[in-house]
Amino acid sequence: MDQDRFVKEFLDSNKIEYKTYSHPAVFTVHESHNNPDVKKIPGLRTKSLFLKDNNSNFYLICLGGEKRLNTKLLKSHFKIKSLNFSSPEELWQELKVKPGSVSIFCILNSARTTLVVDKEVLESAESGFHPNINTETIVLSSENLKKFLGMIENRKEILEL
C-alpha cells in the first residue's frame, strides 16, 4: 500500500481531521523555502529526523523546520552516550521510507522507535507533515495532532528541543 494512502486511512479511521496539500517533491526544509506551492501551506513547517543511539535504539524526532536539534540535550535526557543518523537501510527496515520522506507519520510503521516531539510543534495552532512521501503535506491542528499522538502506542516524549 502507498505510504500516503496508509497514513490517510489511519487518520480517517481514527476520525482525525486534516488537510492535504500537493506540491513538487521537497527533500529539505531549505528546498521548501524556495517552493512557491509549499510556501502557501499554512501552519508550522516541520522536519523529522531518524536517529540511533549507541544501544541500537531508534528515535524519530519531530521539530520545527527552522530549529537546530540539540543532541546534547537528547543524550542527557535518554542517558545515552552517542546519537547519530541512522543508515538508509535502517530507515527502510524500521520506518519503511527512504531518505527525504521521513515524517512524524512514520511512527505508524515501527513499534520499537521512540517518538520525540518538540513542544513548539505540539503548541502550534497548525503544523504540517509529509504523509511519508515528499510530494504532499498534511496539516493537523494542535488538537488533532494530540489526538494522533494519543493513538500511538510507541514510547513518546514531548520535550522542549
Which H or E run contains 152? none
For the chain, the domain total comes to: 1
Q: What angle do CA 133, 89, 67 make, to 5 degrees?
A: 55
Q: Name the residue among 57, 64, 63 with its Cα closest to residue 82.
A: 57
In this structure, are residues 158 and 117 in contact, taking their beta carbons and an 8 Å threshold?
Answer: yes
User: What pLDDT is recorded for position 72?
Assistant: 93
pLDDT confidence band for 98 (50 / 70 / 90): confident
What pLDDT, on a 0 to 100 scale, did the predictor assign at position 130? 87
pLDDT of residue 159: 94
Query: Phi and psi dihedrals of 132, rounded to 5?
Result: 70, 10
Averaged pLDDT of the chain: 91
Contact 114, 154 (CB under 8 A): yes
CA dist 84 and 87 (Å) reads: 9
CA pair distance 66, 68, nearest whole angstrom:
7
Q: What is the CATH number of the domain that holds 9?
A: 3.90.960.10
Q: Do residues 123 and 116 lie in contact, with contact meaning Cβ atoms separated by under 8 Å? A: no
Q: Is the per-residue pLDDT at 128 higher than 80? A: yes
Range of the domain at 65: 3-159
How much is the average pLDDT of 122-148?
A: 93
Q: What is the grid cell recorded at 157?
A: 516524549
35-76 pLDDT, tens digit per residue, is 788 888 999 999 999 999 999 999 999 999 889 999 999 999
